Amino acid sequence: MKKVFVLVLVLLLWLPCSNSQNMLNMGGAGARAMGMGGAFTAVADDATAVYYNPAGLAQLNRPELSLVGYFSYTSSELGFELGELAVSVPASSSNWELNFASAAVPLKLFGRNLVLGGSTHRLVDGDSSYEYKIDTIVAGAHIWGTMLGEQAGSIYAHSGFAAFEVEDWMLMGLGLSAIKGKVKSENREEFNTDSPSGDDALKLAGEERSFEGFPQLTLGTLFRLKRRWRLGVMIKTRTELDFTMTEFEENWKNGSLVSPREDDIYVGGMHFPSVFAFGFAFRVNDFWTVSVDSHSYHWADCDILDSEGNVVLNAGGNRLMNTKHSNQLHLGVEYLLVGPRQWLIPLRLGIYAYPEPMPTGLQDELMKETGEREWEQRERTYFTWGTGLATKSMVFDLAFEFSSDEESVDKPDDTTISTKSKQLNVYFSSIYKF
């Protein structure tokens, strides 16, 4: 009986791993770009281009204001098996936020287009929540438990940008960003049993992380090759961020305080990764555009620093971090329908592969138990589609992004932990042209 209870307790302890969202998947900006699978480096022809390639902003001929909203829904299921014993626990979470806002103004310099502006972009979405409940009878014992968790916060990039039409066939752009954000999480784990060999347990834990750094440079070039070909290149520099983390934990057993709350505070720094993007776009005719991008996020080059600026953890060489580069391939297509009053109705499809830069929650827990450092980089595939409506002065875009994933690990004690997850993101953009 005690073994059965311990196994269910292990399941509850692994629950946060199944619902932890990977904060290293930095979201893009703009429903049009996301509808095309993020393959926008060589397209980049609206005010959201500051994220993908600021050089493309030099294509604007009228002042533009843009707003982008974002909604996310995630469902997950954690499974646990040992012989004939099997337990499955579902959960779901959702949130919506303003993802991006920008203003761009075109001017003339030496008879050529110069575009200036600014933007705020929610780089990393830290909002998530979960509620797991288990209420079952195992070998005659009643076991029930609840785990509640909530995480809130974001990391933002506040940017100024300039783009210039150097030649008819070459555009160049520069963005200068300050990165700032805070993410706070709180968790409550409580499980009980009527078995005389088991214990009632309560655990309260939480942490708060803050980030601040300046500057991050974004450099972009866009080549208009012949009439229908576009080539885009974008580089974001690695940025050092001031980093503060406060953690606390409090444990109770059978109604008695076992370990009182203690705050653990760390003050130091960390690196935000450099990003390299390369893209081609081909405008087949006045209605069809096909684009392909390669994005590389250099997470393995990011380190944790102490308060003196010395490297204390190397991201690619320490098990506590153990990150890898995320090299992504993005494909997108857009078709334009001409509606009444010459309004344009776009139809978009896209797909991209996202290699996880860090071990998943299950992989990380297994590495802690086995002492292994090596891990297999998992790749998650995202499918996107979208539409919109464009008039002479207004553009409305809508995009959907969907992915599903399954993972399982075999622990040394012959138990199997598995997760299933589905994620749906919705982006909606509005652009006003003066």
pLDDT value of position 304 = 80
pLDDT tens per residue, range 35-59: 999 999 999 988 888 889 999 999 9
Q: What is the mean pLDDT of residues 322-344?
A: 89
Q: Does position 3 have pLDDT exceeding 80, yes or no?
A: no
* Residue that wins the pLDDT comparison between 299 and 432: 432
pLDDT tens per residue, range 126-145: 777 777 677 767 666 677 77
Q: What is the mean pLDDT of residues 163-183?
A: 94
> Which CATH code, of 1.10.3720.10, 2.40.160.60, 3.20.20.150, 2.40.50.140, is assigned to 2-433?
2.40.160.60
Q: Does position 2 have pLDDT exceeding 70, yes or no?
A: no
Torsion of CA 39, 44, 45, 46, to 10 degrees: 90
pLDDT value of position 95 = 81
Count the neighbouring beta carbons within 10 Å of the beta carbon of residue 81. 18
* CB of 148 closer than 8 Å to CB of 131: yes
* CB of 182 closer than 8 Å to CB of 151: no
Token code pair at residue 110:
């030496």
Q: Distance (Å, rounded) from C-alpha 165 to C-alpha 159?
A: 20
The per-residue DSSP string of 162-214 comes to EEEEEETTEEEEEEEEEEEEEEEEEEEEEEEE--TT---EEEEEEEEEEEEEE
pLDDT tens per residue, range 256-299: 777 766 677 778 888 888 999 999 999 999 899 999 999 999 88
* CB of 118 closer than 8 Å to CB of 57: no
pLDDT value of position 356 = 84
pLDDT value of position 135 = 72
Q: Distance (Å, rounded) from C-alpha 102 to C-alpha 100?
A: 7
Residue 402 pLDDT level (bands cut at 50, 70, 90): very high
Residue 111: partners with Cβ closer than 8 Å, 6 or more residues away: none
H/E stretch holding 216 reads strand 201-225
Mean pLDDT of the chain: 82
